[in-house]
Copies of this chain bind each other. A is one copy, B any other.
Amino acid sequence: MARGTLREAPRSDKNGNAELLQAAAECFMEQGFHATSIDDVARRLGATKGRVYHYYRSKTDLFFDVHREGMRRNFEAVRPVVRGPDKGGVRLRAMFLRHALSMMENLAFETVVVQGVHMHRLAATTPEQRRVLNELMTIRNDFEALFKSVAYEGVEDGSIKAPDVSIAIKAALGALNWICIWYRPRTGETEDDRLILAEKIVDTIMHGLAAEAE
């Protein structure tokens, strides 16, 4: 594994072999990182190992790139609604909604991101791989911080309340990330169906389960 000589930049071109990333994401989603062999990924591509190893030096590097792409999509989904004239509570709700939709529409990539969070403290990585993993975790933390900062703005302007904002965000993101455990697209499902589902989830997060009456 760890060699004396350290090669330079990974083979992966920035352009990105989108097809390869997608195939890998699907395999990792269905079988998990360790149970997925490079042959599995290649087979799904209708190719052989050679093609995969031409772009990625190792299975771990491939996994990391899928993870990175998943996080890129996460940011892309919520970024447009982070800032704006609305109160913090309104913007936070919009962010939750977009994240929920992103979970459903990028199910394979999102599942890999969740797995990646799980692998955080995993051993068996080279120093270089650990560096990349730490970088990915920083990105993940920044993502969570984005929600937190908007939530705090909501507390300031009176549109958000919580016993502990940091914990509340963890709970809310937990509810959303959990989507990738139970959600599976039904045949013939429309974008509207997903929106309705996302609204129900986000409403629950925003208003809770307790009836106001008490």
- A residues within 8 Å of B by Cβ? 30-35, 89, 92-93, 114, 117-119, 121-124, 151, 154, 158-164, 167-168, 170-179, 181-182, 197, 199-201, 203-213
Report the Cα distance A177→B170, complex, angstroms: 11
Report yes or no: A89 in contact with B209, Cβ–Cβ below 8 A.
Answer: yes
Report the Cα distance A31→B154, complex, angstroms: 39
Main secondary structure of the interface of A (DSSP, over half): helix
Report yes or no: B124 in contact with A204, Cβ–Cβ below 8 A.
Answer: no
Contacts of A174 in B (CB 8 A): 174-179, 181
Contacts of A171 in B (CB 8 A): 175, 178, 201, 204-205
Report yes or no: B210 in contact with A159, Cβ–Cβ below 8 A.
Answer: yes
Report yes or no: B204 in contact with A89, Cβ–Cβ below 8 A.
Answer: no
Contact of A160 among B30, B162, B177, B211 (CB under 8 A): B211
